[in-house]
Amino acid sequence: MHGKHQHQQQGGMVVVAPKGCVTVRVGAEGEEQRRFAVPLAHLKHPLFGALLEEAEREYGFAQRGAIAIPCRVDRFVHVEHLIVQDLHGAAASHLLDLDSSSHHHTQIHLHLPRFAGCFRA
């Protein structure tokens, strides 16, 4: 049982992004949505702003759940990479892909230190 299904099937469990992050659901039309935890600092970046504008045009503001971004996953990962490089120099790090492992996400969120959930060195 992985990612999204796990989130949906855990009923009353509170799904929440790691501290300092927001959850986004990413996927172009016809592509399976993947969830990512994005550091708050990225939201203000113009490249991320452009993704949010696309989301607003496509879905409006009245989305249910985490913000959905209508963008191919590979493009999104690339954009995030550029943002990380821009904000933090060449020491690029990775996003936390909430769907990529079969770990129990709640445990990850509760036990990882601040921001380690957002960036894997």
Least distance (Å) between residue 22 CB and other proteins: 5
Considering only residues 60-119, where is the footprint of other proteins by CB under 8 A?
60-62, 64-67, 87-89, 91, 93, 114-115, 119
| 52-88 exposure pattern, b = at least 16 Cβ within 10 A, e = fewer | eeebeeeeeeeeeebbbbbbebeebbebbeebbeeee
- Residue 30 engages other proteins in binding (rule: CB under 8 A): no
Q: Which two tokens stand for residue 22?
A: 């927001």
Q: Could you list the residues that contact other proteins (CB under 8 A)?
A: 14-17, 19-23, 39-41, 43-44, 49, 52, 55-56, 59-62, 64-67, 87-89, 91, 93, 114-115, 119, 121
